[in-house]
Amino acid sequence: KAKKHLGQHFLTDENIARKIVEGLSFENYNKIMEVGPGMGVLTKYLLEKDQYTYLAEIDNESIEYLKKNYVKITEENFVGDFLKQDFAFINNEQIAIIGNFPYNISSQILFKIIDHYELIPEMVGMFQKEVAERTAAIPRTKDYGILSVLIQAYYDVSYMFTVHENVFNPPPKVKSGVIRLTRNPKEGLVGNEVLFKQIVKAGFNQRRKKLSNSLKVLNIPEALKTHEFLDKRAEELSVNDFIAFTKQWKENL
């Protein structure tokens, strides 16, 4: 029986499962980590590939089910809670992430991926449609926000397809969206990441206000106080604008 507090909705459509797995390129990495394998609807297609598959699952019943029903899966595959991963055990090798994610921790999963982007060249996964759309959103839209800017600073995002509620057991309340992330850190970001995140978060936390107002909490450097971006709202700045602005800010600290 599905456990609601673990975000369990099991995908029942094999064609969709196969399409999600085929969203990965399987190039330039030898390892994959699946988040929340559940009863293994994606896992069985991953096991056909050359890459080694780690399984991050916290539900013991699912773990027992997977070990019992798939000869290739043993205790060795399991790595526990995805949000607790530090990826130390992969010894700096590259690893792709895949999953039909538990929707209660969607943003935390995405932030975890950004925190380890140097190890993660690719991610394909399903989120609630609204979150999937936010990651792919462009400036001057209502979906464009912290998640869009932080993800797109590190990854190219492509929205693959929408999935209807009725192909899950039990059906979730909302539609789902599958996205693909391909690592492509934007120029000028590296080394300025802490400040970049602070500026993006402060800007969108008061998204109706001009940046001259919303960024006051961060003590805008004197030399930047007449910067043209301060006259705009966060949603009017592109990802590259935010990065360029962060760089100038840092040079004037």
Q: Which residue is nearest to ligand SAM (CB)?
A: 36
| Least Å from the CB of residue 210 to ligand SAM | 38
Neighbours of 70 (CB within 10 A): 15
Q: What residue type is 47 in one-letter code?
A: L
- Whether the CB-CB separation of 252 and 223 falls below 8 Å is answered with yes
- Distances from the Cα of 37 to the Cα of 102, 135, 169, angstroms: 10, 23, 14
Q: Is residue 14 part of the contact set for ligand SAM (CB under 6 A)?
A: no
Q: Which of 45, 52, 59, 107 binds ligand SAM (CB under 6 A)?
A: 59
Q: Count of residues binding ligand SAM (CB under 6 A)? A: 23
Nearby residues of 194 by Cβ (< 8 Å), 6 or more positions away: none
Q: Which of 47, 58, 160, 202 binds ligand SAM (CB under 6 A)?
A: 58
Q: Is residue 33 part of the contact set for ligand SAM (CB under 6 A)?
A: no
**CA–CA distance, 181 with 163 (Å, rounded to integer):** 18
Q: Is residue 57 part of the contact set for ligand SAM (CB under 6 A)?
A: yes
Query: Which stretch in 52-60, 113-121, 187-195, 228-236 sits in contact with ligand SAM by CB under 6 A?
Result: 52-60
Residue count of the chain: 253
* Residues at the contact surface with ligand SAM, assessed by CB under 6 A: 6-11, 35-38, 41-42, 56-59, 62, 81-83, 100, 102, 105
